[in-house]
Structure 1
Amino acid sequence: MSKSSFRPEDFAYGDPDKLRAIIAELMAAIAMRSNMAGDYAYLRDDAGLQYTLQCAAAELRAALNIFADLKDQKQRLKKRQPSPVRQPASQKRTSE
């Protein structure tokens, strides 16, 4: 498996890109396990195939959970954004 240039250790705690990088690493591991599963199936190694599929499933569940955390984090950050500045009622023009 080749090393990704999008590495979690390159980002600060709380940075959404850190979560994306972790997901990218998990998906790279799943891709590797997919190739391994094909090899085990070809070799008729059911024990290796089962173990590899279980590991891939666990990594996919982890990636989905981290993605849910990413969505939650984005929503929290969106709520913290300041609302547009509004003029006080006394400064509004009246059309009289």
Structure 2
Amino acid sequence: MDELGYVPNQAARSLVTKRHDAIAVIVAEPETRVFADPFFARQLRGISKELTAHDNQLVLLLTEDRDDHARVGRYLAGGHVDGALVFSCTSTTRCPS
């Protein structure tokens, strides 16, 4: 197997194991804020580092308004990830710097 460079197919493995080795990170903020505010960069970097240490993949899902909630809900219900983390900063509170 090593000599031929065989790599197991993750999609096929997940059919058997029912695991995807992926965690959704849902950020309920406009993408312009997520990519401009250093708070979100620090959070995503820390989450990614922990997931990588446990051989999991981060799947970033952004929800800006109610229309996005149904889309993300369908994605999560489809069983594409093993779990989800959700975070946001409300407009009445300021994100920590």
Same fold (TM over 0.5): no
Q: Work out which structure has the larger RCO, using CA pairs closer than 8 Å and 6 or more positions apart in sequence.
A: 2
For the aligned pair, the TM-score class normalised by the smaller chain equals: under 0.3
- TM-score, structure 2 as length reference: 0.27
Q: Which has the larger radius of gyration?
A: 1
Structure number with higher strand proportion: 2
Give the structure with the higher percent helix: 1
